[in-house]
Amino acid sequence: MKADRHLTTYLYTYACNPEEEPLCQMEMRALFGSDAGPNLMVSKEKIDPKRSPFIRERIEVMAEGETYQSIVEQAKKVVLGEDTFKVHLIKDNDLEERLSLQDRRRIEREIGLSIQGVADLDHPTHIFAVIPYKGSWYFGRYKKGESVWLKHQQKPRDYSTALSTRMARAVVNIAVPKIEGRKVIDPCCGIGTVLVEALSMGIDITGRDIKPLPAMGARENIAHFGYECEVEKGAIEEVTEHYDSAIIDLPYNLCHTASPEEQLSILRHANRIADRIVVVSGEPIDAMIDQSGLMIKDRCEARKPGFTREILLCESSFVQG
C-alpha cells in the first residue's frame, strides 16, 4: 500500500509548556502555514520531526477510517515480504481514559497480524503508527523526533543571556522553513548558538560578529560538534553578498551591547542584505523596525528563565519594491 506523494497527509504530534506556546505556534506557522491544533498538526508538508524542538512524532498517513477495525482491513494491503516491522498506537488525550494498556496492545496486535511481514518489537526495519483523532483512526509510517538541540547545550563557550538551544532552533525554523537552496547569514552570531542549530539541520549559513572574542567562541563551539561554517569578524555594514534569510539576535548582554543607533544600523543593513529576516530583541522595537524599512509579518513573545525576548519575522522592503 503506497500513499500518493502529491496527496499524502502527515500527522505531527507536538508538546510544549504554556510559556513556549507562542513560540511553538509561530514555528508551526512558518513550517506548515497555520497554527497547530491541541497537541497535533495535520499538514501536506513533509517535515523531518527532528528539525523542531516541539515536534515529537510524524505519521505518514497510509489509511484512515471511522474505526480501528477498518484500519485492520486496510493494513492487509501492506506487503513487506521478509522485512520486519512493529505497530505503535499513539495515545490520544480524548481516548486515554477509555483505552487501557491492554486495549492498546490488542489493537496494535490486530493491526500487526494483518500486515504481510515479520513482526519484531525490538529492532524492526519498519515502524507503523495508528492514532485516533477527531473521530477517525489514522495509520501510516512512523518517524520519531530527536532532541538534537539538547546535545548542543554542552558547548565549550556560552553566555548566560544567550538564546537557549531550544529557542535558537525554533528561531532558525522560523527564518528558514525551506532549507534546500537557501543561503543564510547570522551577522551578530555571538558564540554561535544559532549557527550550531542551523548547521545541524544542513542549512547553508555564514556567521559574523563585530567583536573578536564571540567570533572565536563561535568557531570553537561549531568545531566542538563537528560542523564547519565560515565565521568572520566584522560589522554587518561590510556584508556585500545577498542572502535568502538573516537571523538577527540584537546585541544585549553585558559583554556585547549596541546603542539604539547601532541597532538601527544593523536592522537597515539586514533589510539590504536579506529577503526574510528574523529579529530577536530584549525590548519592543516596532518603531525601529519601521525606520529600518523592514515589514513585520509575524511575531511572538518568547520566555526564558530570567528574561523575555520578542521574536519578529520580517520581510525586506526590497522584496516587494
Which of 177, 175, 149, 155 lies closest to 249 in space, CA to CA? Answer: 175
Which of 285-288's residues contact partners 24+ apart within 8 Å by CB, and which partners?
285/250, 285/310, 285/312, 288/260, 288/263, 288/264
State residue 160's pLDDT score.
Answer: 64
- What lies within 8 Å, CB to CB, of 223 at 6+ separation is none
Tell me the whole-structure pTM to 2 decimals. Answer: 0.92
Joined together, the cell numbers standing for residue 184 give: 543564510
Which of 6, 139, 136 lies closest to 76 in space, CA to CA? Answer: 139
φ and ψ of 7, to 5 deg: -115, 0
Q: Give domain 148-320's CATH number out of 3.40.50.150, 3.40.50.300, 3.60.20.10, 3.40.50.620.
A: 3.40.50.150
> From the first residue on, what is the mean pLDDT of each consecutive set of 10 residues in the chain (321 residues)?
66 93 97 92 95 97 95 97 96 64 93 97 97 92 95 87 89 98 96 97 97 93 97 96 96 65 95 98 94 97 81 90 53
Q: What is the CATH number of domain 10-144?
A: 3.30.2130.30
Instruction: Report d(CA 125, CA 122) in Å as an integer.
Output: 10
State residue 258's pLDDT score.
Answer: 78
Query: If you write DSSP's letter for every residue of 133-160 in order, what string do you get?
Result: ETTEEEEEEEEE---HHHHTTS-SS--T
State residue 307's pLDDT score.
Answer: 74
State residue 303's pLDDT score.
Answer: 78
Residue spans of the domains in the chain: they are 10-144, 148-320
Domains 10-144 and 148-320 share a fold: no
State residue 254's pLDDT score.
Answer: 45
Q: How far is CA 241 from CA 176, 185, 236, in A?
A: 18, 10, 11
State residue 248's pLDDT score.
Answer: 96
- What lies within 8 Å, CB to CB, of 213 at 6+ separation is 255
- Specify the pairing of strand 252-253 against strand 256-257: antiparallel
State residue 259's pLDDT score.
Answer: 86
State residue 2's pLDDT score.
Answer: 47
Is there a contact between 270 and 294 (Cβ–Cβ < 8 Å)?
yes
Query: If you write DSSP's letter for every residue of 84-103 in order, what string do you get?
Result: EEEEEEPP-TTTTTTS-HHH
